[in-house]
Structure 1
Amino acid sequence: MLRVNGTRIINQAGDEVILKGAGLGGMLNMENFITGYSGHEHEHRAALTDVLGKENAEFFFSRLLHYFFTEADAELFASLGLNCLRVPFNYRHFMDDDNPDIIKDSGFELLDRIVNICSKYNIYVVLDLHAVPGGQNQDWHSDSGLSRALFWEFRDFQDRAIQLWVAIASHYAGNPVIAGYNPLNEPADPQHTRLISWYERVEKAIRAVDPDHMLFLDGNTYAMDFSAFDTKKTLPNTVYSCHDYSMMGFPLPEQYDGTEEQKTRLRASFERKVRFMREAGVPIWNGEFGPVYQDPRTDPDAEATNTKRFALLQEQLAIYQQCGGVSWSIWLYKDIGYQGMVYLDPESPYMHLMRPFIEKKQRLGLDFWACADKTKIDDEVYQPLISKLKEMIPESLHQKKYPKIWTFDRQVERVIRECLMSEYLGWELAEAFRGKTKEELESLAGSFALEKCLKRDELNWILEMDTKAYLPSSKKA
């Protein structure tokens, strides 16, 4: 069993353990850019149920989850020297909204399978509640279907999440494969104080049934803001977590060129996010980070761009090494080709089916995370509308809405593109599945099996080299 000792995470023998791994996003908490649909997971599942029927839809999703992570994946993961898998999950696997008092055994069956596989390969697991009732943040990955974090406005939603954590902690108490619990991914509480109160409540409830496992607590505003946290009131046996994405690793105007000014900014950004941990004297966990990668099939400059993205990743890892004792979890392990260490073969049955929809979705700029070039749709459709809307509202109010770092344009984009338009397009995608037999659905789901996927070799090599940097010299060979 791992535990916190000052600024370190240690094992039973008292040796420091630096957790290095990846997030298993897209599996027990699906995301649109990871598996290709549009909008929110519960809408995607509902749309496929409408066209396939309940039995076939459940069959397809069950088989997809089966293939998404197997012993072969764990073997690859461990072969790179990675020792921790962050497992995001959606509350819907455990609770039905119309009968939330019942915790479903099927949710534990899904988690247990992953935990049992990881135990065979000496991989620790961090359990990450990625989507809660009402949504803990304003984005698609909290699966609320809204652009508002209702979790903070209804005490019942908060109580339900604690109820779920008590059940999970009771189930895994004493299990040494579990590194700890990540109670809330990327919370975004506009008042800041409700998050602190909820953390205190969930910690007390978990400790009542499981006094031993560590907690991993994300900062507010998407794990980047610790301004409301008190360095003198840290919770016991708790690791505090930031997320350290760099916009230089995305399809935006500024790309990473390795200048000293860019390196200085990278370090300053990270140091700002972990200042709380430094002052409080607690361990640091970077729960998410990593660039995205261009597709050479559609981008003639992909190789040159990706070389810059890999260099950015290496610089970030160097910063974490130089800071000493920073645990991390890159985002992410497997997807359809945008960011994963492993990704689906473009010639697979699933990608053949999905590609026309994905290309349309990208042209319409529906996925915030995976739409590289929105210039055409912006110029023709959105900017004229947004310009008119801005004229109706005093300029002093354009960034009053939380999170205040988001522009007025971004707020409009969230509502129109990522909610409204994505829901309409989700019904269009579902039609591509109409009439599929179980054999065809099995083939589609089987596209996610590791042996049918491709590996992002340079990314995996970079991660492996970083893990070897911490091994004794006798083991590096």
Structure 2
Amino acid sequence: MKRFLLFLAALSAICLVSLAPPAQAQGFVRADHQQILDAKGNPLILRGLGLGGWMVQEGYMMGLSNLKAQHIIRHSISEIIGRKNTEHFYLSWRDNAVTKADIDAMAKWGFNSVRLPMHWNLFITTMPGQKTNGRMVWNEEGFRRVDALVGWLKTHDMYLILDLHAAPGGQGHDIAISDRNPNSPSLWDSHENQTAMIALWGEIARRYKDEPTIAGYDLLNEPNWGFQDKHDKGGCRETGSAPLHDLYERAIQAIRAVDKNHMLIIEGNCWGNNYAGVLPISDRNTALSFHKYWTPTTQESIEPFLKLREQYDMPLWNGESGENNNDWYARAVALQEKNGIGWSWWPLKKIGKGNPLEIKENANYRRLTAYLRGEGKKPSAKDVFAGLMQLARDSRFNRNIRHQDVIGALLGASGGSEAPN
């Protein structure tokens, strides 16, 4: 499972440098000192859900924690049913797992935002090289799906946060999060991968610079990497994180070359919890995102982040939280909102409970996962393909199991009262 217990060493005092003046993006969500403001300049508390599992499948969401990363799951499936049928399943999954009906339901339940975890390979077809004369070849599928999502959200005056969840090469040792292949150069080991990430953000900025439905660009999800100490796999003891800070600044420069409007969001090392050496950041229209899993719901548990908010005069946003029980959810939301912090719960749906929507498993899919976990015999290719296609259909909103108690825990007793039948 992708999460790591919150660990934040006491941060050394870092002198603030001279920063650029705040961006005045009229008509756009923006960071204004320690608050996030809406287009009219009013304080905005983002209350949202993350679309985890749609573009980036993590093993635990699919009943395959042992396989961890999407590329491993995909390869394992392909060995049984072949590449063509595997691609057919994944395309059907992306067509069904998130549709307008999901967004309509979220709006009726009372959520005002969505965080989209993006996989780089749905946006980049070919990396720069000799065959492309040094150019990036874009994959239009990813942009087409973002366009559709923007349209669905705009109908309800909801916001979208674009999150680079799986960066080229992968940004951490926790391979499930970013679909990283440890046998290939990571984001940190490859100049080409970093260049591709920066180019991708530049292209996103070019395409969406005038779209106010997008509240912000979450530049890199949960980096977890020890730069100074290779034994510190998660970067939780890291005191420098210079490569992370440098990559953020380069990405910001590429975005601001074409897009002066959108709020930026940065995450620290150690799964978004260690900011030593990451701050300060040059752009003032930037929010700080932390992730909160399993930790106490006391004021003390978020005090380190509140101190960062005050020290660096920038707003806080909890970009991920969840995978717990309803009592914890209600207390965590209350804690954050009491401190003026918005949130995005993880995820909207998966196989298993603990989220607003649950995807049902079918018998053929259960036989496949049992085999891939080493707990059963190999099923036939015909049954595997049938089970996968049934799973893709069952990922659709009207076939999901709805957990109104989870929605109520997040939004209060009235949450979910207008849920569609």
2:409 corresponds in structure 1 to: 462
Cα separation, partners in 2 of 1:351 and 1:97, compared to 1, 3 Å: farther
Q: How does 1:246-285 map to 2 (within 5 A)?
A: 246-247=294-295, 266-285=298-317
* 1:147 positional shift: 9.0
How many equivalent pairs are there?
366
1:109 aligns with 2:144: yes
Q: How does 1:41-190 map to 2 (within 5 A)?
A: 41-96=70-125, 101-139=136-174, 140-146=176-182, 150-190=186-226
Q: How does 1:217-256 map to 2 (within 5 A)?
A: 217-231=266-280, 233-247=281-295
Q: Which runs of 5+ in 2 are unaligned?
A: 1-27, 130-135, 228-240, 416-421
Q: Which amino acid aligns with 1:152?
A: W
Is contact 1:136-1:150 (8 Å) kept?
yes
Task: Tell me which moved more, 78-87 or 95-104.
Answer: 95-104
1:313 aligns with 2:332: no
Is contact 1:243-1:286 (8 Å) kept?
yes
Give me the whole-angstrom Cα distance separating, in 2, the residues matched to 1:70 and 1:330: 18
Q: Deviations over 1:329-373 (max 9, x none)?
A: 01110101143210023xxxx432233454677xx7xxxxxxxxx
* 1:442 positional shift: 4.0
Q: Which amino acid aligns with 1:314?
A: A
Q: Deviations over 1:411-445 (max 9, x none)?
A: xxxxxxxxxxxxxx69x99x647125987754331
Give me the whole-angstrom Cα distance separating, in 2, the residues matched to 1:51 and 1:353: 13
Give me the whole-angstrom Cα distance separating, in 2, the residues matched to 1:357 and 1:274: 46
Give me the whole-angstrom Cα distance separating, in 1, the residues matched to 2:185 and 2:271: 12
1:19 aligns with 2:46: yes
Q: Which amino acid aligns with 2:118?
A: F
Give me the whole-angstrom Cα distance separating, in 2, the residues matched to 1:318 and 1:58: 42
Aligned residues with identical type, % of pairs: 28
Q: TM-score of the superposition, structure 2-length normalised?
A: 0.80
Give me the whole-angstrom Cα distance separating, in 2, the residues matched to 1:440 and 1:35: 13
Is contact 2:365-2:387 (8 Å) kept?
no
Q: Deviations over 1:390-431 (max 9, x none)?
A: xxxxxxxxxxxxxxxxxxxxxxxxxxxxxxxxxxx69x99x6
* 1:124 positional shift: 0.7
1:343 corresponds in structure 2 to: 358
Cα separation, partners in 2 of 1:77 and 1:175, compared to 1, 3 Å: same
1:302 corresponds in structure 2 to: none
Give me the whole-angstrom Cα distance separating, in 2, the residues matched to 1:160 and 1:273: 31
Q: Which amino acid aligns with 1:224?
A: N
Q: How does 1:386-397 map to 2 (within 5 A)?
A: none
* 1:98 positional shift: 6.5
Equivalent in 271, 284, 287 of residue 319 of structure 2:
287
> Partner of 2:44: helix, strand, or coil?
coil
Q: Deviations over 1:256-310 (max 9, x none)?
A: xxxxxx65xx322222234212221211100111233xxxxxxxxxxxxxxxx32
Cα separation, partners in 2 of 1:318 and 1:147, compared to 1, 3 Å: farther
1:447 corresponds in structure 2 to: 394
Q: Which runs of 5+ in 1 are unaligned?
A: 248-261, 293-308, 365-424, 469-477
Q: Which amino acid aligns with 1:240?
A: L
Q: Which amino acid aligns with 1:25?
A: G
Give me the whole-angstrom Cα distance separating, in 2, the residues matched to 1:267 and 1:352: 45
* 1:67 positional shift: 1.2
Q: Which amino acid aligns with 1:316?
A: A
Equivalent in 22, 25, 34 of residue 7 of structure 1:
34
Is contact 2:367-2:379 (8 Å) kept?
no
1:391 corresponds in structure 2 to: none
Give me the whole-angstrom Cα distance separating, in 1, the residues matched to 2:212 and 2:414: 21
1:193 corresponds in structure 2 to: 242
Is contact 1:291-1:313 (8 Å) kept?
no
Give me the whole-angstrom Cα distance separating, in 1, the residues matched to 2:185 and 2:306: 25
Give me the whole-angstrom Cα distance separating, in 1, the residues matched to 2:330 and 2:221: 25
1:322 corresponds in structure 2 to: 338
Cα separation, partners in 2 of 1:172 and 1:151, compared to 1, 3 Å: same
Cα separation, partners in 2 of 1:150 and 1:73, compared to 1, 3 Å: same
Q: TM-score of the superposition, structure 1-length normalised?
A: 0.71
Task: Tell me which moved more, 191-200 or 333-342.
Answer: 333-342
Q: Which amino acid aligns with 1:159?
A: T
Cα separation, partners in 2 of 1:200 and 1:95, compared to 1, 3 Å: same
Q: Which has the higher helix share?
A: 1
Is contact 1:80-1:463 (8 Å) kept?
no
Give me the whole-angstrom Cα distance separating, in 1, the residues matched to 2:223 and 2:193: 14
* 1:5 positional shift: 1.5
Cα separation, partners in 2 of 1:208 and 1:310, compared to 1, 3 Å: same
- Structure showing greater radius of gyration is 1
Is contact 2:120-2:168 (8 Å) kept?
yes
Give me the whole-angstrom Cα distance separating, in 1, the residues matched to 2:355 and 2:282: 34
Q: Deviations over 1:367-388 (max 9, x none)?
A: xxxxxxxxxxxxxxxxxxxxxx
